[in-house]
Structure 1
Amino acid sequence: MNLLIVESPNKIKKITALLPQGWHVEASVGHIRDLPLRDLGIDRSNNYRMHYAINTDKEKTVANLKAKVRQVGAENVYLATDPDREGEAISYHLCQVLGLDVKTAKRVTFQEITGPAILAAVAQPRKLDTHLVAAQECRRAVDRLVGWEISPLLTRHFQSKGYSAGRVQSVATRLVVERERTIQAFSGKQTYPVSAVFRTRTAEMLPARWVGEAPQTEEEARQLLQRISQARDFAVLSIEQQPVATSPPAPYSTSSLQQDGVKKLKLTVQQVSDLAQKLFEAGHITYIRTDSVNLSEEARQEAATQIRQQFGVDYAVGGSGRTFREKAGSQGAHEAIRPTHWEQATAGDTVDQQQLYQLIYARALASQMSDAKYDQTTILVAAARPGPEGLTFQSKVRVLRFEGYRKAYQEAVEEVDEDAALAEGAEGAALQHPVGEGEVMELRRARAAGRSQKPPRRFDEATLVAELERLQIGRPSTYASTLRTIHAREYVANGSVTGTKVKAKTLIWEDGKLREETRTETIGGDKNKLVPTERGNGVTDFLLRYFVDIVNLDFTAKCEADFDEVAEGRRRFTEVVPAFDNRLTELRTAAEVDLPAPKKAH
């Protein structure tokens, strides 16, 4: 009899059905032990040795696992926790608690819950990767030290409980706070983008934009419209036609799936993570905690077969398939997220699971499909008079000629600044009849629409995750818990901001007359975004004053790089953690001088 220990009990039934007789599957239900709740649990005087305690809610689980180990024998135990640093650490703790030899314990990993993957994994167990364990312990130690040392000082400063600091959560809060302050302090200048509409010889209307720099004042805009209206004699200066191709996006990593789930399905990051976990446990998709954007060679070939069957040979990219450049800081330890069965276009037990699966399926399939192809035509229209000043307008038209990957997947539509679109004028209308160089064009209308520069948009969960990933802060697998924490601590809230209403003037020349129209623009308004609370502002100000290194973006990203070096065996736990703690202690000592004394218990 063999014993396979996984993390989630939801995997037991599926994996048991895939293994032959003689196997028993049990679950650790995540971590079985952790640092103690009421003590630091890190022995600074003994090379920062970690002292763990079995979680009270896992005592029965541990007792059951011990009994199973005694029943089958330690030599027949296989540790199949998740294939990442956290999973490696859980396997290490299982060894410690269950009496397994860390040096000889059988560790197995698989990227998908399918028969071939499970059988291949148990047929070739490996040893525990102690470098990965050390990297996880580094992260845990640093995070415990930050919370243990700074959170009590927050309580003293605010004379209230319920405040906490964290290496990633505090930076995430800072990003939301500083974005809000940037918006509030923003004072943008106004410009007057100029556009025009021309009538062709076949009576079609061609919208175009002036190629020059937009006027900075109303008076400059009036003068330019006056010149345009006096020129009158416009003709086609040049026509450029060229094929344009767009390549498909990479298959999903953890963070890009979270972002698309928020944008396309209107879910939260936590909901996306929970749904994806269910799909993985059911064997529908590969492992969900990954920063890779590439599929295995075998998966690329399987996808190509499916593409040819569904869409035809022209839609398959050909060769050995398409690969993508990994992002900076990517560990690339696992495949990108993909379906385990390409012939299965739908899967999931609930509507939300099914919708998320369809996203994953479509994106993975599209990544191995041909480019979308367009014909792009750029038309320049210029005035014959007044000549030297050069009154030139540009119109671009792009026509889809071959759908390619877009047959399976289309990118999420990004938010559009409606005021900017209105001010800059429409462009891209397709003509039914071609025009030729030198063809005379009749100016029908010209306008200069005043618009104010806009501040950056507030973050929502998707864009905050994207920013954290861009800055290499934290890991995608932790983003859901980070967002959950800053909401629970009431440092940020989901909300809408009305913004400031300002008047904008549009000057329009038409039928030989210049007239004015007035519209209202909104500056700094947003709907359903992350807004910092008073608590979030207060905590950020405190940390920037006393613990600037902890919320420094580069410093926090460097921590991740340090953990990566430990995972690769290039640095040691005993180098990284003490160095971090020494700096933290310096900052804490300086902060204590300014803070009020802690309240005495009565």
Structure 2
Amino acid sequence: PTGIGKTTFGVAAALFLGGKAYIMLPTSILVSQVEKLARRLGGEGILAYHTSLSEKQRKEVKEKIRHGEFSLLITTSMFLSKNFDLLKGQTFSFIFVDDVDSMLKRAKNVDKVLMLLGFREEEIEEAMKASSTSSFQQPSRRVGLLVVSSATAKPKTRRVRLFRRLLGFEVGMPLGGLRNVEDVVVFPRGSLVEEAVRLVKRFGRGGLLFIPSDLGREKIGEYVSALREAGIEAESYEELNEKLIERFERGEVQVLVGISSAKNPLARGLDLPQSVRYAVFAGVPKNRIPLDFDRLTIPQCLAVIVAVKPFLEAARANRYLWELRRNLTADPSKSKRAEALLAEVRSFLAEALSNPEVVERIQKAPNVWLERKAEGFEIVIADAAGYLQASGRTSRLYAGGVSKGASFLLVDNEKAFNDLRRRLSWFLEEIEFKRFEEVNLESLFEAVDRDRRKIGELKKGKISEEEKKLVRSVMVVVESPNKARTIASFFGRPARRRVGSLTVYEVNAENLVVNIVATGGHIFDLTVDRGFHGVEVDEHVIPVFETIKKCNQCGEQFTGSFCPRCKSQDYLDKMAVVEALREIAKEVDEVILATDPDTEGEKIAYDVASILRCFNEKIRRAEFHEVTRRAFTEALRNPRSLNIQLVEGQTVRRVADRWVGFELSQHLWKVFDNVRLSAGRVQTPVLGWVIERAEEAKRRVGLLKLRGEEVEIKLNIPDLEEAKRLYEEAETFTVEVLGERVETVSPPPPFSTDAMIREASRLLGFDATLTMRLAQELFEAGLITYHRTDSVRVSTAGMTVAQRYMAENGLESLFKARKWSEAGAHECIRPTRPLDAEQVRLMLYSGALRGKLTGKHLRLYDLIFRRFMASQAVEAEVRRKTVKIRVGGFEEDRELTAGLVEEGFYRFLKVKLEDLPEGTFKIVGKELKLAPSKVYYTQGTLIQAMKERGIGRPSTYAITVNRLLEHKYLVERKRYLFPTRLGVKVYAYLSSHFGDLVSEEFTRRLEELMDKVERGEADYNESLLNLYHDLKGRIPG
């Protein structure tokens, strides 16, 4: 960050380390300044090359460089590019590149720096050709140290990957979204020029004025002239040079005028955190695409479909979006596939947008601007990236955090503004425009100027002891590598480096330098070599944990010294993770444990704290239930201590699973002579339920379908003989309406884990394992809240998501906030942002959302989104009808939902409507089928039963069902679960020999005991001792 002392550090390090050092800077002025600083710090053997040297001095300096007559060399990166022949063959022990961006402007500079560090040309080329870092063998000899400093670091050369392959790090890039900007919207009373001049005159120095790119560069002069006529010193970005920047910094120039595009130098390259106070946008940043279908490019076709997709044929539009995204950089003149795709998409768009009805619907849309010109239509698309980049100039990262900035957007077209808001929400979930009239300008600019004063003090080296502590380095530990990547991406493209076996993502988050790293799940598990199945039992119970291993031959995960499945000793040991975590912990001020917000996550956090305590004393726990930037930064601001009760509860759970599972499984191995069999305290009673249900289902009922001339009915008839009689004898059936009423229906609650699995099974045909994997990936992508939860509670943030979505989509009248449950640690499964599945799809195709999400992910997301929105919507009113059906002496009363009176929450959920007219109907067709008296379990209904009967936890529901299938105790046919012969035999043996241990009651009591330990209502040690003696008394040796 600005003002943290990067350059001073580089000089001090070069002098302190000794050896031959090289400092590379972006400008000649800086070379001169750094030379003076180095001499002031007592450096000797300093040689600097800059433009203020005379011709004779330059020649002398070059000769000294050629002969290596220096200890510290200071030049510009341009000097390296033009004069490498003077340096070739020399090696440096330390190279400091201040502003790596200017060095990376020439790709070959990367090679030159690496050669100066001691790498050979052939090694560099070999590393460049390697398919990945792991496939390249780094040289074993010692090479020099490279330190790079950067403000933006957006390298365009592929050779930057050499840093990763040869030196183990990647240059990162901050995000324009790392901003502390007050976004203010202004609906101008007069012309845009008059309003812009009025605002600049009011706010004074330090202004940037941005003109929409669709107006063209010629408009710049008009605005500059208008500002000058009003007595405001203004300059165009076209005049930008060092002298103009100095005048702007001194306040002699009040405002600079540029174009609101991410490519404009004023929006992209201006980094003046002490000087820039505010930005004014004279119109919504936007781009125009003329709909000349024969000339549309692949990126333009993609942009047009994203803009008007709701009005296009959905299936074809989705297919084309996917294909266009894949071919985004392809050249149609060189690729037949890209050429054919482009022709097909152009034809599709031409056909769709030549339809007057489609055009009329688009023109009525609140956020799509289709403008008719003499030569045809133009579509106007808001430039969200341009707005973020340009407004971000007012808010920069510095040693005290992120400076306050102000952005004033003058709206020239409301549709463009609505489109901008929609697109900005794809990038930043918390961005919100305030109306000009609602903003306290005095208070706003007081905060803006306070930060500028701080930055000025920092630049002068005046910094208090308290402020010195503002910037801290932290290691954030999560479980999943995907989660680590997602969090890091909130703050730009992270710098990456390898530490041992781990990838570390480094980002700046407010006043923290954050190193994010993933454990890859649990690091430790109970050993198999000590005590009673890994637990020492005396007066105290001491579980003995060791690092988890993963077999390289068969993939089995185990503890011990060899794989229990294939006996191999070729494995990956998580001790490598322990060693890497310790190395990183030594570097940072603080360790934040941000593992999942459940008991398993607490146990992993405790394990990590245990192995790092000797290396870093400051270790705290952060908890967040959604992977969003807001939730993550909030968790960093409010860390807590580890909850030892949760750790003890999870340990009791793990020990109980081990003891019961190992004891019962070992008996199965002996009796059935099969070491692949297993039993468990949860899976065995659940297996019993499936067997019991299958027995009940053997009894059959009659399913009679009768078709009249106007209506069809289905009847479940318990007595098979009666069903056969009716099938043979019935000629008519009668429907009598007993009554009708209008009834108010409340929506269902949002999803908990069991309900999500049940509905995904029922509506999407997903099994439990697939549903949980997809939900995990949606959570890690930051799209849904934590997916392992028993709670249906909705937080205030959740209600805001629903309210925003309904407001932005014209559904304000449907919103009704509901908590569903009182406050607690956990929340329901819900979307984290006001985006429906179609908007998420557009984000994926437009590149605003990165990740490998598939159609299945989107289907599950849609299910979660709709259920949550329904839970926050008003009640529906339905027309209920009670009817009596009579067929040949058989009668049945039935209640039907015959129609909708008020749609309410059914706007988001499908409602099954069924109506039967009154009358007697002649039977024209009939069918009799035998059906099971009880419906077999599906994975969804089985997990629902586990929740209702208090067996298992959200984190183990899917695992339990999957184990029963893996061990071939159950099979699945057409989504229904059936016990196998093996499953029946195993359950019969266990229930007859260990009935108490595999009973539902024993398992439920154990679950209740674990919950009590977690709440601190039962003693951890005493609970385990009692369980130990209980098991020893029940299981024969």
Place the TM-score, normalised by the shorter chain, in its bin.
Answer: 0.7 to 0.9
CA shift in 2, pair 1:279/1:240, >3 Å: same
Q: Is the 8 A contact 1:290 1:337 kept in 2?
A: yes
- Read off the aligned partner of 1:574 and give its amino acid letter: N
The aligned counterpart of 1:429 is 916
Q: How far apart are 1:540 and its partner, in Å?
A: 0.3
SS in 1 for 2:977: strand
- Read off the aligned partner of 1:253 and give its amino acid letter: S
The equivalent position to 1:316 in structure 2, one of 800, 815, 835, is 815
The equivalent position to 2:527 in structure 1, one of 20, 32, 36, is 36
SS in 1 for 2:1035: helix
Is 1:569 the counterpart of 2:1016 in the alignment?
A: yes
Give distance in 1, aligned partners of 2:525 and 2:790. 26
Q: Is the 8 A contact 1:95 1:101 kept in 2?
A: no
The equivalent position to 2:951 in structure 1, one of 473, 483, 488, is 473
- Structure 1 residues 363-409: Cα deviation after superposition (integer angstroms, max 9, x where no partner): 11111112232223446799xxxxxx999988967122222222222
Q: How far apart are 1:356 and its partner, in Å?
A: 1.5
Is 1:71 the counterpart of 2:571 in the alignment?
A: no
Alignment gaps of 5+ in structure 2:
1-472, 492-508, 550-572, 841-850
The equivalent position to 1:289 in structure 2, one of 773, 788, 796, is 788
The equivalent position to 1:276 in structure 2, one of 775, 778, 784, is 775
SS in 1 for 2:829: coil
The aligned counterpart of 2:517 is 26
The aligned counterpart of 1:500 is none
Is 1:400 the counterpart of 2:900 in the alignment?
A: yes
Give distance in 2, aligned partners of 1:322 and 1:571. 34
Q: Is the 8 A contact 2:479 2:521 kept in 1?
A: yes
The aligned counterpart of 1:484 is 962
Q: Is the 8 A contact 1:246 1:373 kept in 2?
A: yes
- Read off the aligned partner of 2:768 and give its amino acid letter: V
SS in 1 for 2:936: coil
Is 1:376 the counterpart of 2:880 in the alignment?
A: yes
The aligned counterpart of 2:833 is 341
The aligned counterpart of 1:52 is 545
SS in 1 for 2:485: helix
Q: Is the 8 A contact 1:238 1:380 kept in 2?
A: yes
The aligned counterpart of 2:620 is 106
Give distance in 2, aligned partners of 1:145 and 1:133. 18
Q: Is the 8 A contact 2:525 2:545 kept in 1?
A: yes
Is 1:548 the counterpart of 2:995 in the alignment?
A: yes
Give distance in 1, aligned partners of 2:632 and 2:1002. 40
Give distance in 2, aligned partners of 1:239 and 1:263. 32
Give distance in 2, aligned partners of 1:218 and 1:377. 26
The aligned counterpart of 2:392 is none
Q: Is the 8 A contact 2:753 2:787 kept in 1?
A: yes
Identity of aligned pairs, percent? 29
Structure number with bigger Rg = 2
Greater alpha carbon shift after TM alignment, 542-551 vs 398-407: 398-407
Is 1:464 the counterpart of 2:955 in the alignment?
A: no
The equivalent position to 1:7 in structure 2, one of 479, 495, 500, is 479
Is 1:248 the counterpart of 2:762 in the alignment?
A: no
- Structure 1 residues 470-505: Cα deviation after superposition (integer angstroms, max 9, x where no partner): 21110121122212222221211223xxxxxxxxxx
SS in 1 for 2:476: strand
- Structure 1 residues 569-591: Cα deviation after superposition (integer angstroms, max 9, x where no partner): 101222322222322222212xx
Matched positions, count: 508
Q: How far apart are 1:243 and its partner, in Å?
A: 0.6
Q: Is the 8 A contact 2:898 2:914 kept in 1?
A: no
Q: How far apart are 1:144 and its partner, in Å?
A: 0.5
Q: Is the 8 A contact 2:474 2:515 kept in 1?
A: yes
Counterpart mapping for 1:166-205 below 5 A? 166-184=680-698, 186=699
Q: Is the 8 A contact 2:884 2:891 kept in 1?
A: no
The aligned counterpart of 1:304 is 803
Q: Is the 8 A contact 2:876 2:905 kept in 1?
A: yes
Alignment gaps of 5+ in structure 1:
198-203, 383-388, 414-425, 432-440, 496-526, 593-602
Give distance in 1, aligned partners of 2:861 and 2:603. 29
SS in 2 for 1:359: helix
Q: How far apart are 1:451 and its partner, in Å?
A: 7.6
Q: Is the 8 A contact 2:622 2:636 kept in 1?
A: yes
- Read off the aligned partner of 2:967 and give its amino acid letter: R
Q: How far apart are 1:250 and its partner, in Å?
A: 1.4
CA shift in 2, pair 1:44/1:381, >3 Å: closer
SS in 1 for 2:878: strand
- Scaled by the length of structure 2, what TM-score is found? 0.45
Q: Is the 8 A contact 2:701 2:720 kept in 1?
A: no
Is 1:134 the counterpart of 2:648 in the alignment?
A: yes
- Read off the aligned partner of 2:809 and give its amino acid letter: Q
- Scaled by the length of structure 1, what TM-score is found? 0.75
CA shift in 2, pair 1:304/1:542, >3 Å: same
Counterpart mapping for 1:213-228 below 5 A? 217=722
CA shift in 2, pair 1:310/1:192, >3 Å: closer
Q: How far apart are 1:77 and its partner, in Å?
A: 0.9
Give distance in 1, aligned partners of 2:637 and 2:786. 20
- Read off the aligned partner of 2:524 and give its amino acid letter: R
Give distance in 1, aligned partners of 2:785 and 2:521. 19
Q: How far apart are 1:115 and its partner, in Å?
A: 1.9
Q: Is the 8 A contact 2:701 2:719 kept in 1?
A: no
CA shift in 2, pair 1:46/1:390, >3 Å: closer
Q: Is the 8 A contact 1:112 1:287 kept in 2?
A: yes
CA shift in 2, pair 1:70/1:372, >3 Å: same
SS in 1 for 2:635: helix
Q: Is the 8 A contact 1:102 1:128 kept in 2?
A: no
The aligned counterpart of 1:91 is 605
Q: Is the 8 A contact 1:110 1:118 kept in 2?
A: yes
CA shift in 2, pair 1:379/1:138, >3 Å: closer
- Structure 1 residues 10-30: Cα deviation after superposition (integer angstroms, max 9, x where no partner): 122322334335111111211
Greater relative CO, 1 or 2 (CA 8 Å, sep 6+): 1
Q: How far apart are 1:190 and its partner, in Å?
A: 6.8
The aligned counterpart of 2:71 is none
The aligned counterpart of 1:578 is 1025
Give distance in 2, aligned partners of 1:147 and 1:213. 41
Give distance in 2, aligned partners of 1:153 and 1:456. 33
Give distance in 1, aligned partners of 2:1028 and 2:982. 26
Give distance in 2, aligned partners of 1:253 and 1:219. 43
Greater alpha carbon shift after TM alignment, 370-379 vs 251-260: 370-379
SS in 2 for 1:3: strand
Give distance in 1, aligned partners of 2:661 and 2:885. 63
